């Protein structure tokens, strides 16, 4: 085990501890905005954990998973923000005459 492996294990432990604290904020967050930010942070931390595991396992197979999770985290954050701002995600601007 070399120094890089030790640093990766330490980084994984710190990230997992941070994810537990973010999970607490999701459950106990005083406002909905705090919960949304905590969920977004959990998504980013999860992407970091997968990237570190990819380095540790010396494989590139997880890059697609990282890309997919980043896209889903971005879409989720935009949808939650739009919902908090307007109260709806999809606007229905239709005339009543139809």
Phi, psi of 7 (to 5 degrees): -65, -35
3-32 tens-digit pLDDT = 999 999 999 999 999 999 999 999 998 988
Pairwise CA distance, residues 74 & 44, whole Å: 10
Q: Percent of the chain scored above 90 by pLDDT? A: 65
- Terminal alpha carbon distance of the chain: 69
Phi, psi of 18 (to 5 degrees): -65, -40
Closest CA to 85 of 30, 26, 32, 28: 32
């Amino acid at each position: 085990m070399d120094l890089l492996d030790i640093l990766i294990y330490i980084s994984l432990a710190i990230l997992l501890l941070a994810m537990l604290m973010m999970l607490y904020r999701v459950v106990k967050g005083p406002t909905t905005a705090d919960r949304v930010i905590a969920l977004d942070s959990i998504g980013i931390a999860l992407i970091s954990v997968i990237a570190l595991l990819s380095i540790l396992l010396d494989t590139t197979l997880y890059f697609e998973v990282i890309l997919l999770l980043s896209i889903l985290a971005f879409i989720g954050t935009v949808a939650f923000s739009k919902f908090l701002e307007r109260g709806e995600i999809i606007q229905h601007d239709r005339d009543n005459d139809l």
